[in-house]
Structure 1
């Protein structure tokens, strides 16, 4: 018995030392991960790599200590054993993720400090992207395995602090895994898109938001962009208005597109091709018309709107435009939106200047590819893509699939969820959308059958003057409108399977818009006035029951990209017997509703969650 007691004492001391040492190593691992994050935020890649390497080593050592045979009896105990086994598993997964992630940072750091000639201004460094791709993919796979493995661990039996670690890991690592997967997907297709395997040609199109279309604005100036092994060269910009309407319609990208938009000439001219809210469909139509005019086929379309001009000007400090001088960032939008139309009486000169602004923007954008502040340039491009100001279409299906997944493809992407979007097509033939302000209110109620019912109200305010600007800006171009008056075809789109229960004008024809349910309403808004439209929709499968008995309502609202942006209110009524939890950032709970107010453009995702009152601790 004395010997057994001595053995137990020795085992207890050894196990305690192992567990205590492992705990210290895990704390140090956490500290090193925080140091890695700080270094990444300050773009210190070498420092981030060193911190991550130490964190990886610490996680591996902790896993070995906690997995030691000395601790086998402790791992067999109830509760404590569950915590130990989970901690071993998490430490092992962190170690597995750390190795490829450290390699990724090593490659990135080497690229940043590489003195090789990247090719000069206007070159996308495709060789660097190719070097980053393998560690990116390996990191994404390792992190996804870790998320799946940790997520498969039962919550039952874990003590509070350990359960908190599990929750925090999944909250951080889940989105990070998705981001890494998307980055790896993009890295795999970008070299080919920019001519790493063979030269490519694209239509580079500038659109004006002063005359809105369902996907961006009027397709104005365009140029041919040639790329080879990352080197970009674009030709002279032309005005699409100089191209005559085709005598015969092109075939169109899909039956629904032909049915909805052939009536506005979308199959005969670019000026109507993007009435659709689905940019890939508009781009395919543009390419069909390009070839119908006798041009050689190209590999895709790259679109940038006038908000892109502003973003590039802000990043570079201004745009140098031949014949104009330097356009300061605060002047760019006004100049391309309305001012240029009044400065030049000669139409050809005006077109040339607007083309020159587009050329200056893309020239400056190419120069930014060589800028040392890579993070700022990446944030600019990501922001423009996120708000829908830059859209890209590739004829290569695999490449386009990636572009759609990361949001730069501009696909409408209808889904069976609570979704709405208010989209305007200018049919007045003027530029007064520059003066248009918009407010939308999307109010959602939950139905017992899992569906949702929504009321969507949009208010349009026209602040255009009635004089002081050329007719080309204010109009009228049609007899029934006065100067500054606007007329639009307003389209409501909602999710797959959605029913439109009410729309202005009684029962206008419903249609299919790239898989979404759609209805069109014609609306006149005289200068200096406001008009409102109200719709009611019903969507099956608008909310889902969570495993814990709670409810999740994934609300999505498409905010059309406009010059001033869109003011919005998203409201979800709290169902009886439930309480809101994990409110979206900026949202408030009051008067039985979860409410989010804001201003912006682009695809807005608002996940709203409710827990049962007893579970949520509400009253």
Structure 2
């Protein structure tokens, strides 16, 4: 047999018949094959790049649409606009689904590993996936709950909270909470500054929306689960309400200068007894005591003197001390403790409207802080009882307006959320199962012993007994300067304390009694710095002078306490360097004492470990 196009066949066949044209030359060298392969691969890469770019632009547009829709949806849910929320939810779900479809598949999976563009691709994939998850798993339930009961389920009317409403929605809030928590965590791990410019704005906005929504969902889920029992569905409850005074600063905010007893019985809430720190004198033999393991970290008097209970930067412990001291003085057993401050009261007045006190003072959202933390001490310079009466009157008037249902629900709840984000609203329950749930929320005030993430605390206490911290300005900056063997971080905390105290004209009710070596306008302060769990304090520097770290421990967290004097018009800088515990390579978090001005708290900063 011979092939019809073999050389022999060609030589003997009809000369007019031509052999088939070859696609490649007979001799094809390696360079030729390489050029062919590169051309094919280059064409495929070009096509993939074009498709990827087109899908990326489409996804960015859809994410922007989803970001806009999510913000509108939050506002509609807050306003109880169920019909509008349903329409917006459809827009959000459509944009999220299409964005997810555009970024899902092998092409995007491979591209996420490429240099230069990998971070951008991965960020788009994560955001698209998580927004789609929220749109399908959380939003429908939230909208349905809004249609069923709205925000009124969480706010009192005529002195009563409808427990039945809370019990009806409680089983439905767990799934949205979990979906939002996971989405907020995954999207929160993205660094917007590391992605391409077009994506930075929608990523940041979606991070903010998801973080806020996840926080609200946790509070709503916990509240709907716990509030029925905490509001006396099974038996009457009594709570101690503390109003901290930020003008005399303590680690958690200020001294508990005013307090009240709140009773809850089958959803009906009322304020009964009121008092001040004067009514709870210090005791020499308290029922509770500061553990020996905490000596040097917090004052022993935190368990003996109501005014010092909030020197402990852990609200559950501070609440136990305060509840014990007031309970002993009033022969009352408390089922829990709630703490607020005048800044919180000012926030609430934005929704409740002004209240007029017995002495004629008209408190508004604009003047509440100034009146309660400064004005009262100027008006009643030598009458502490009159000062306390103003605080008690303000607390009762605002409480009655709140439980009476005055004002619109949305701004009142927004005020409480804002105060909780500032760490101004804190709740502790004596019931262990309830307290376990509260610890997972933003109102726990707990000093975390979490060893998975580096957490740093900087807390300020007055040591003079003055109300001069109305004139105190603080700023705190935490930076991660170095990643150590991919195991831990070196952190630097910089704190600046500035006094804007007038040099003259202040009454003794504000300056406090003069102490030896101090002028009337001097502030005597202690700054308490708490290192991460398992971390080490390396250097303490006050101004230009190195200080030996001196303090103790709170659990597994080392503490240094730095005393200082701050004169009128002076600023003092404190710098503390520390190393985190092993394995703490994620972004550190900085927590600080809430002052009289609204400032960010629980601030997350960038890790040097990438």
Same fold (TM over 0.5): yes
Pair member with larger Rg: 2
Cα pair distance change 1:426/1:108, threshold 3 Å? same
1:193 pairs with 2:234: no
- Give the Å deviation of 1:202: 0.4
- Alignment deviations for residues 397-454 of structure 1 (CA, whole Å, 9 cap, x no partner): 2322332222101111143444333211101111101101123333321233222222
Indicate if the aligned counterparts of 1:319 and 1:329 stay in contact, CA closer than 8 A.
Answer: no
Give 1:404's match in structure 2, choosing from 420, 427, 439: 439
In structure 2, distance between residues paired with 1:275 and 1:58:
49
1:366 pairs with 2:398: no
* Matching residue of 2:597: 564
* Matching residue of 1:516: 557
Q: How does 1:463-474 map to 2 (within 5 A)?
A: 463-474=500-511
1:393 pairs with 2:428: yes
Give 1:432's match in structure 2, choosing from 453, 468, 474: 468
* Matching residue of 2:267: 230
In structure 1, distance between residues paired with 2:216 and 2:140:
17
* Matching residue of 2:173: 136
- TM-score, reference length from structure 1: 0.71
In structure 2, distance between residues paired with 1:276 and 1:119:
32
* Matching residue of 2:72: 38
Of stretches 180-189 and 315-324 in structure 1, the one that deviates more from structure 2 is 180-189
Cα pair distance change 1:448/1:193, threshold 3 Å? same
Specify the SS of the correspondent of 2:476.
Answer: strand
In structure 2, distance between residues paired with 1:312 and 1:601:
19
* Matching residue of 2:603: 604
**Runs (5+) with no aligned partner, structure 1:** 1-26, 67-74, 151-166, 545-552, 566-599, 612-619
Cα pair distance change 1:472/1:254, threshold 3 Å? same
Cα pair distance change 1:520/1:99, threshold 3 Å? closer
In structure 1, distance between residues paired with 2:283 and 2:384:
22
Specify the SS of the correspondent of 1:564.
Answer: coil
- TM-score, reference length from structure 2: 0.72
Cα pair distance change 1:196/1:259, threshold 3 Å? farther
* Matching residue of 1:102: 140
Q: Which has the higher strand share?
A: 1
Give 1:455's match in structure 2, choosing from 492, 499, 508: 492
- Give the Å deviation of 1:543: 5.2
Indicate if the aligned counterparts of 1:279 and 1:410 stay in contact, CA closer than 8 A.
Answer: yes
- Alignment deviations for residues 191-249 of structure 1 (CA, whole Å, 9 cap, x no partner): 22222222111011111100011112011111110012222100242111232221313
In structure 1, distance between residues paired with 2:339 and 2:389:
19
Q: Relative CO higher for 1 or 2, CA cutoff 8 Å, sep ≥ 6?
A: 2
Give 1:268's match in structure 2, choosing from 281, 285, 304: 304
Indicate if the aligned counterparts of 2:345 and 2:368 stay in contact, CA closer than 8 A.
Answer: yes
In structure 2, distance between residues paired with 1:256 and 1:56:
53
Cα pair distance change 1:601/1:46, threshold 3 Å? same
Q: How does 1:439-588 map to 2 (within 5 A)?
A: 439-449=475-485, 450-504=487-541, 506-541=547-582, 544=585, 553-564=586-597
- Give the Å deviation of 1:531: 2.1
Cα pair distance change 1:481/1:250, threshold 3 Å? farther
RMSD of the alignment, in Å? 4.3
- Alignment deviations for residues 484-529 of structure 1 (CA, whole Å, 9 cap, x no partner): 1110121111101111111246324331124321101111112222
Indicate if the aligned counterparts of 1:276 and 1:513 stay in contact, CA closer than 8 A.
Answer: no
**Runs (5+) with no aligned partner, structure 2:** 1-60, 112-124, 188-202
Cα pair distance change 1:517/1:484, threshold 3 Å? same
- Give the Å deviation of 1:101: 4.8
In structure 2, distance between residues paired with 1:100 and 1:273:
40
In structure 1, distance between residues paired with 2:95 and 2:493:
53
Specify the SS of the correspondent of 1:237.
Answer: strand
1:121 pairs with 2:155: no
Cα pair distance change 1:386/1:192, threshold 3 Å? same
Cα pair distance change 1:54/1:489, threshold 3 Å? closer
- Alignment deviations for residues 155-194 of structure 1 (CA, whole Å, 9 cap, x no partner): xxxxxxxxxxxx99x9799866676455323321122222
Cα pair distance change 1:181/1:97, threshold 3 Å? farther
In structure 2, distance between residues paired with 1:325 and 1:177:
39
